């Protein structure tokens, strides 16, 4: 039997966690696709990373599958994908899913509060 922490450990092993500072550098470079996997209500409360693609975790497999009608073209398997959520757990789990779907460059920048506190670019949606 697996527990939530088992899934998180597997996800954290599969997807590197980057510091907020490294995430901000990636954002400044403009070469990465930032994906916020929180639901729309949470995003509406806090805003999100400027320019982030919004893909609720429950829709990730559909949006990431380039053969599916709901595919988001920003999600390319060779793109540098940086995931964010509320605290880092959903981003880690989402990252593991993307890796299993064939995405090569996936990282987890953690939670939106840390991003905002570090002065990361934000926008209200």
pLDDT digits (tens, 9 = 90+) for 88-108: 999 999 999 999 999 999 999
* Burial of 65 per CB tally in 10 Å (0-12, 13-18, 19+): middle
Percent of the chain clearing pLDDT 70 (strictly above): 100
Residue 115: pLDDT band (50, 70, 90) is: very high
Q: Could you tell me the domains of the chain?
A: 4-123 (3.40.250.10)
The average pLDDT across 62-71 equals 98
Question: For residue 80, which phi and psi values (nearest 5 degrees)?
Answer: -85, 105
pLDDT at 14 over 90: yes
- Tell me: pLDDT of 125 over 90: no
* Measured distance CA(37)–CA(34) in Å, rounded: 10
What pLDDT, on a 0 to 100 scale, did the predictor assign at position 21?
Answer: 97
């Amino acid at each position: 039997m697996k527990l939530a922490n088992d899934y998180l450990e597997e996800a954290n092993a599969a997807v590197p966690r980057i510091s907020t500072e490294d995430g901000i550098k990636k954002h400044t470079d403009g070469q990465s696709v930032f994906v916020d996997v929180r639901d729309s209500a949470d995003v509406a409360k806090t805003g999100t990373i400027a320019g982030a693609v919004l893909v609720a975790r429950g829709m990730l497999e559909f949006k990431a599958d380039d053969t599916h009608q709901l595919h988001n073209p920003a999600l390319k398997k060779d793109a540098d994908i940086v995931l964010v959520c509320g605290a880092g757990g959903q981003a880690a789990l989402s990252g593991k899913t993307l890796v299993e779907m064939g995405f090569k460059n996936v990282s987890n920048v953690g939670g939106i509060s840390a991003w905002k506190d570090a002065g990361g670019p934000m926008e209200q949606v």
